[in-house]
Amino acid sequence: MRVENLIIGAGITGLSCAYHLEKLSKKYEKRNKHSSRCNYLILNNGREIGGLARSKEIGGFIFDYSAHLLHCKSSYFYNWLKENLGSEIVLHKRNAWIYSHGVFTKYPFQANLYGLPKNVVKECLEGLLNPDRLKKYEKNSFERWCYEKFGSGISKHFMLPYNRKFWTLDTKKLSDEWIDEFIPQPAIRDVLDGTFEYGHKEFGYHSKFFYPRKGGVEVFVKKLASFCRNIMLDEDVVAINIEEKWAETKKGKKFYYKNLISTVPLVQLKDLIVDMSRQIKGEFLKLRHISVINVNLGVKRKSISNKDWIYFPEDNYIFYRIGFPMNFAPTSTPREFSSIYIDISYSDWKFLEYNKEDLIEIVRADLIKIGIIDDVDEIPIVDINDIKYAYIVYDKKWAQSRGDIVGYLNKKSIYPAGRFGAWKYLSMEGCFLEGKRVAEHLISG
């Protein structure tokens, strides 16, 4: 079978690319132009579309695969959501917190010191106001950036321990290339405002977000997929020939393409492409990622928390974040019950050596310790998801290796796209816009 644009993966990016190719095709047809460049086919390796942006129903509870929220930095995405989902989604103002030193403080830590022990507040302010930022740390590292931006106190009490715990990596080894878009950087005046009372100013790209009224986050994915005509499910690609331009599936079907858009994790292409250069294969080995164990719990008690989610920088708790789906959408949880998602990161260099039963007991004990649940609370629903590719690691090798790989593939008419396909951090909005960008690139020739 021959196709102009072969898309591997029916996650948000693959669906968005197809959607925008459909849109551009109609535009061409109205102008009486040949629209063959808009021709596409999506191959999905399972029967469920959406990638990680799916939801599951368990005993009356709706759970996502960890937290998936719809942020709108662009007017294009905002308008698309309002036009296509309208009353099906609800706008929320973020209610995020941090638990450290035995107390809850508002997110982000660096702008909300109010409520912390006095000695911790003093250290944070002294470090922030010290004009002589520490310069001895490795250049272009996340650790150096933290000290120079926030000083020693805020770095010591949150920025470094949280990121060590989350990334499972020494913060000296993390680069500073990912920071500006994702870590709020309040002015000194904002920090002082949040020191003597709860701060009123919101920071960060997710200070507001949309979430479906019912059905979980996959409501968005299903709507996007409804515009895409050419999707083949259960077609797992097992081989790609970049010179002859074909992809073969596990069922033995061969698809010839002009352009291939790959949204599978970039590192998997190393084994799928049968005729890749040895030099480029070596670059794949330098790309790293972390994985996440996502635990979903249904608790037989209503309103166990009014918070959206909570971060945990300290190592005496196994999870780095927990959240409450019932506060995103009350319909996701039966009446008189509550729901919790728990995220625990691990990696190839930091393993989780617990079986399912032990892990749940540790999680339960930690939730009791911080007062989220009581030891008498019943937990009738337990769901565990092992998310292999959760976040890509921005270490010192990321930019060079990723750039070499993507450059090589682009010359072969292969376009890696999406959060894991292009090996860069993207929100759901970012994945949607990435699909749009790739479609426009293909049409422009």
The phi and psi torsions of 84 (rounded to 5 degrees) equal -100, -20
| Degrees, nearest 5: CA angle 392-320-180 | 50
- The CA-based dihedral angle spanning residues 117, 118, 121, 126, taken in that order and rounded to the nearest 10 degrees: -150
Closest CA to 313 of 108, 141, 143, 130: 108
Instruction: Give the CB-side neighbour count of residue 149, counting CA atoms within 13 A.
Output: 20
DSSP 316: T
The class (CATH top level) of 2-57+77-84+215-285+395-444 is alpha beta
Contacts of 54 (CB under 8 A, 6+ apart): 48, 64, 65, 216, 217, 218, 221
Contact between 100 and 87 under an 8 Å Cβ cutoff? The reply is: no
> How far is the C-alpha of 207 from the C-alpha of 362, rounded, in Å?
31
What 3-state class would DSSP assign to 424? coil
pTM of the full structure: 0.94
Residue 406: what residue type?
V
What is the longest distance spanned by two Cα atoms in the chain?
72
DSSP 92: E
Closest CA to 424 of 401, 440, 443, 441: 401
pLDDT at 30: 63
Closest CA to 50 of 215, 271, 167: 215
Contact between 245 and 413 under an 8 Å Cβ cutoff? The reply is: yes
Contacts 24+ apart (CB under 8 A), 237-240: 237/8, 237/43, 237/45, 237/264, 237/272, 238/272, 239/272, 239/274, 240/269, 240/272, 240/273, 240/274, 240/414
Contact between 313 and 98 under an 8 Å Cβ cutoff? The reply is: yes
| Residues 73, 76, 80, 82, CA torsion sign | positive
pLDDT at 316: 95
The phi and psi torsions of 416 (rounded to 5 degrees) equal -70, 135
Residue with tokens 């040895």: 278
Contact between 133 and 344 under an 8 Å Cβ cutoff? The reply is: no
Helix residue spans in 186-252 (DSSP H): 188-196, 218-225
> Residue 148 CB: number of other CB atoms within 10 A?
14
The class (CATH top level) of 289-392 is alpha beta
pLDDT at 6: 98
pLDDT at 29: 64
Contacts of 134 (CB under 8 A, 6+ apart): 147, 148, 152
Digits of tens for pLDDT over the chain (445 positions)?
A: 999 999 999 999 999 999 999 988 777 666 656 566 789 999 999 999 999 999 999 999 999 999 999 999 999 999 999 999 999 999 999 999 999 999 999 999 999 999 999 999 999 999 999 866 555 556 678 999 999 899 999 999 999 999 999 999 999 999 988 887 788 899 999 999 999 998 888 888 778 999 999 999 999 999 999 999 999 999 999 999 999 999 999 999 999 999 999 999 999 999 999 989 888 999 999 999 999 999 999 999 999 999 999 999 999 999 999 999 999 999 999 999 999 999 999 999 999 888 989 999 999 999 999 999 999 999 999 999 999 999 999 999 999 999 999 999 999 999 999 999 999 999 999 999 999 999 999 988 6
DSSP 115-128: TS-HHHHHHHHHHH
Residue 171: what residue type?
T
Closest CA to 331 of 90, 105, 6, 159: 90
The phi and psi torsions of 341 (rounded to 5 degrees) equal -110, 145
Enumerate the domain spans of the chain.
2-57+77-84+215-285+395-444, 96-196, 289-392
Tokens of 244: 């002859």
Architecture of the CATH domain 96-196: Orthogonal Bundle (1.10)
